[in-house]
A and B are shown apart, each in its own frame.
Chain A
């Protein structure tokens, strides 16, 4: 039950943060030079036309009324209408969300699948060639700008070898799965792979490197502890010593850092999308900034902020489950 109370408390804090996010996103427009009316109105628009536009968008209302309108709108799922295409901002934002999620999830799964075994290997073979290799890889991985890595991958695998797609998303995982289920053909999955492989490596390398480093140093710390000597002395097989005892305790700080670095993952997704023309939230954000399409920009930022809070809540819950101490602090 203590866990339930802990999660509830974190959820309430999360709501406060979401409110802050919405306020910052709303306030952004007022600390930016230039009026949104100039985005919509034609260059030669008369003063009356501009006034009419302001009135229609509610921009002539006092600040607190605009703020209340915005918050109430958001609560009803209304992010306003795009200044450029005049379609609902929420439908554009949510249409883009699955592509970004797909990219982030695939990159994270691959990163975890590679980095934790690699970190353990590195720690248990300390100062052997495998360890040097892993250390070199992780140092390079955290020091490489991911957009540049993406371009280098394009250069090697697409320009020279012509194996992977470098632009767009293809059918998406959903589409590929549908092909598999309806026709039993794996072609859809292969196409999906040809599109997602390079973006996923681009986004995932930094995390693979980071988690490898954390796992390695954590494992080295844990393997030097006296409880490890005790379980070894009891005759526990080395595999169990490593994976049941040492790794389990290593994962606690790894989870914390992963939660903190979530923003980096989303930021990385934005720039990865820009490199590969991946039709996700990132490209939407960049386009909406260039076009000053406020409803789209604000809606995207709110969704990113809320997503961050939700995932962090999940990470905190997982953390509390692995390490019950935090619940009682």
Chain B
């Protein structure tokens, strides 16, 4: 699976590439933020405070115009008041329309993005690799049938299919207790974290095809090797050969593809939440959507979570480039659908 030579290649490529280092730093940072969200977030991300709504981020200030009618010297007059709203360090990235802290929301949003990205990719990889290995190992009719069904999947854009499935199946969500709150480290934070269950299942279901294609290619090339023939001739069963010999050989390209897929699924999740097809409201895509109505007055509500997505996805893509350059799995790179 991971040979010493592979590790040497990874290290050599890493040393020579500033972008790989940058990518790994970003990924480590985002993972740390997601894991430690309750500790790092200055406020409860769901706590509303209408007195402090639409505060700008530090370094910016906005003005609001309010018109009121007042009695001045015995006659009614329309009074225009311009109030300057200054940023405060209590809310470094400002607040949204309900006075929720943007920084805390961005920190918690990292959890949603990473968990959906990892679990969705895991599910897609399990389905896709199984289908691909079986198709490539048995060839013939099994291969034809499985690969035609993969073609059918490809004919539906993953975003369109995902919208349809989440929209139709409902937005089921799992409530997971937050260990840091349960242990009493951050008792003031939300006690549980909402995981958008349907979204995870659906992104796995719509993205397995890419894994199937890669795993099939590997199985096709490996099955003709003499050690596979040797294993079969001593009576090893098909499932044993697939698990012990074919699967390990496809590990490297699957790993590279999985990295790219995590980025693609994070983009897909943000698109689904943006359109309102998600089970959680603590999501970068959701915040971008809610900020749309306040673009003219509070530009930061949509802007800030988008920057978080871009930085995260750039980090993962840089790690993906590093793995691809170091391991050269020959899948041509751009597998998987992104840009959602």
Q: Which residues of A contact B (CB under 8 A)?
A: 13, 16-18, 20-21, 24, 28, 32-33, 139-140, 142-148, 151-152, 154-155, 159, 206-207, 210, 213-214, 217, 253, 256-257, 260-261, 263-268, 270-271, 274, 282, 285-286, 289-290, 292, 297, 301, 304-305, 308-309
Contacts and interface: CB of A to CB of B under 8 A. Distances in A.
A75 B129 CA distance: 36
A121 B334 CA distance: 21
22 contacts: A20-B155, A21-B155, A24-B152, A147-B270, A147-B274, A147-B285, A151-B292, A151-B306, A152-B306, A154-B295, A206-B339, A210-B334, A213-B333, A214-B333, A257-B332, A264-B338, A268-B340, A271-B340, A286-B163, A290-B167, A297-B164, A309-B155
Interface residues of B, number: 46
B158 A20 contact: no
A20 B151 contact: yes
Contacts of B299: 155, 159
Contacts of A13: 148, 151
Nearest to A207: B339
B71 interface: no
A85 B243 CA distance: 54
A248 to B, nearest CB: 18
Contacts of B339: 142, 145-146, 206-207, 210, 264, 268
Given A145-B267, A159-B296, A210-B339, A152 B156 contact: no
Interface in B139-182: 148-149, 151-152, 154-160, 163-164, 167-170
A265 B270 CA distance: 17
Contact of A147 (B155, B170, B271, B295): B271
A28 B148 contact: no
Interface stretch (B37-45, B245-253, B311-319): B311-319
Given A210-B339, A253-B332, A148 B309 contact: yes
A18 B152 CA distance: 7
A-side binding surface: helix, strand, loop or mixed? helix
Contacts of A263: 154-158, 337
A274 B275 contact: yes
A265 B154 CA distance: 12
B288 A261 contact: no
A224 to B, nearest CB: 15
A171 B149 CA distance: 40
A270 B156 CA distance: 12
B263 to A, nearest CB: 7
Contact of A148 (B164, B288, B295, B296): B288
B114 to A, nearest CB: 15
B90 interface: no
A42 B130 CA distance: 46
A151 B163 contact: no
Given A140-B314, A148-B309, A261-B334, A267 B157 contact: yes
Given A142-B339, A148-B288, A268 B295 contact: no
Nearest to B159: A267
A304 B156 contact: yes
A142 B334 CA distance: 10
A17 B340 contact: no
A301 B167 contact: no
Nearest to A14: B151
B337 A143 contact: no
A16 B148 contact: yes
Nearest to B151: A17
Contact of A267 (B291, B303, B337): B337
Contacts of B317: 139, 142-143
Contacts of B149: 20
In the A-B complex, list the 8 residue pairs whose CB atoms are closest, starting with the nearest. Answer: A267-B159, A206-B339, A267-B157, A20-B152, A289-B167, A148-B306, A143-B313, A263-B157
Nearest to A34: B168
Contacts of B151: 13, 17, 20
Contact of A271 (B170, B263, B274, B291): B274
Contacts of B288: 145, 147-148, 151
A87 B340 CA distance: 32
A159 B292 CA distance: 11
Contact of B160 (A16, A217, A267, A309): A267
B95 interface: no
Contacts of B7: none
Contacts of A144: 306, 309-310, 313
Nearest to A146: B339
A186 B98 CA distance: 46
A155 B157 contact: no
Nearest to A24: B152
A4 B335 CA distance: 29
A206 B154 CA distance: 19
A32 B317 CA distance: 35
Nearest to A213: B334
B54 interface: no
B164 A289 contact: yes
Nearest to A304: B160
B159 A143 contact: no
A206 B318 CA distance: 16
B302 interface: yes
Contact of B337 (A28, A264, A271, A297): A264
A33 B198 CA distance: 14
B161 to A, nearest CB: 8
Contacts of A286: 163, 167, 275
A28 B167 CA distance: 12
Contacts of A214: 333-334
B263 A305 contact: no
Contact of A270 (B154, B155, B159, B263): B159
Contacts of B152: 17, 20-21, 24, 305
B66 to A, nearest CB: 20
